[in-house]
Amino acid sequence: MNFPDYETLVLERAVEDVLVVTLNRPEVLNAINTRMGRDLLDLWTRLTAEPDAARCVVLTGAGGRAFCAGGDLKERNGMTDAAWRAQHELFERGFVALLDCPVPVIAAMNGYAYGGGLETALGCDFIYAVRGARFALSETRLGIMPGGGGTQNLPRAVGERRAKELILCARAFTAEEGYEWGLVNRLCEPGRALADALETARAIAENAPLSVRQAKKSIHYGLQTDIATGYRFEIEAYNRLVTTEDRIEGVRAFNEKRKPAFKGR
């Protein structure tokens, strides 16, 4: 897939089949404005429509200070109610598109993330973060509340009671605390979040892409229902892989003691 030249995102192929997406507004700590909202919605929508464009995505932020500072409050200053709601509708569509994206997305958090920045990371499949980074859903200090899935994804990551404390107090927490609570998968040394995430992305990209996407879908939707229904969903996802060329290639490569060459078919 040929992606457009996004105004607020930088896309590059660090390695084959791995797409690195960088939030690129470092002058405002990668805050999300309307243009970035449109760019992200377009990106996740394209990846959903054509998931073969990448086998894994790593999302990070430009500069060394922040992953994403959240919504651009300078742009929002003085917005009419109608304009605010219209912008938020755009952001909502982007968050849903990220959650629905069949391609695995790893957040490589190179610095702090507040508000919508943390919600963007929470919408990814898992998070790698540098030591010492600070995160918060601080919207209640601004007279609003999390509106990018924060009240849903944070409690699923850290538990209901802890999420209530963090959101209602608008309390910041560290990457180390996030790791302890299960929000962060790996703590990285300063400057290493992207490199560490790429290492994992390569491992994912080496596996059968159809299998990876079906497994991701089964986990994501299965957790939203009871275990018996989730298991039925898993079997439906499993059965779709039985007739694929990649399943045949995977078994043949195992028996021939060689690395499989998956084609996504």
Ranked by mean pLDDT, the top range of 69-83, 137-151, 251-265 is 137-151
Which of 139, 176, 180, 234 is labelled catalytic? 139
Residue 96's pLDDT band, with cuts at 50, 70 and 90, is very high
Per CATH, the number for 9-205 is: 3.90.226.10
Whole-model pTM: value is 0.94
Active-site annotation holds for 119? yes
Neighbours of 170 (CB within 10 A): 16
pLDDT digits (tens, 9 = 90+) for 160-171: 999 999 999 999
Q: Over 90: is that where the pLDDT of 64 sits?
A: no
Residue 148's pLDDT band, with cuts at 50, 70 and 90, is very high
Helix (H) or strand (E) holding 73: helix 73-76
Active-site annotation holds for 139? yes
pLDDT digits (tens, 9 = 90+) for 71-90: 988 888 888 999 989 999 99
> Mapping DSSP to helix (H, G, I), strand (E, B) and coil, where does residue 61 land?
strand
- Confidence (pLDDT) at 38: 97
> Mapping DSSP to helix (H, G, I), strand (E, B) and coil, where does residue 111 land?
coil
Our measurement of the distance from residue 8's CA atom to the centroid of its chain's CA atoms, rounded to an integer in Å, reads 17
Which of 7, 16, 50, 119 is labelled catalytic? 119
Q: Over 80: is that where the pLDDT of 1 sits?
A: no
For the segment 39-43, the average pLDDT, to the nearest whole number, is: 97
Q: What is the DSSP string of 127-159?
A: EEEETT-EEE--GGGGT----SSHHHHHHHHH-
- Confidence (pLDDT) at 14: 81
What is the CATH T-level fold of the domain 209-255, as seen in this structure?
Answer: Lyase 2-enoyl-coa Hydratase; Chain  A, domain 2 (1.10.12)
Q: List the single range of 2-6, 118-122, 146-150 with lowest mean pLDDT.
A: 2-6
Residue 16's pLDDT band, with cuts at 50, 70 and 90, is confident
> Mapping DSSP to helix (H, G, I), strand (E, B) and coil, where does residue 113 land?
strand
**Spatial CA neighbour of 129 closest among 204, 77, 68:** 68
> Residue ranges per domain, the chain?
9-205, 209-255
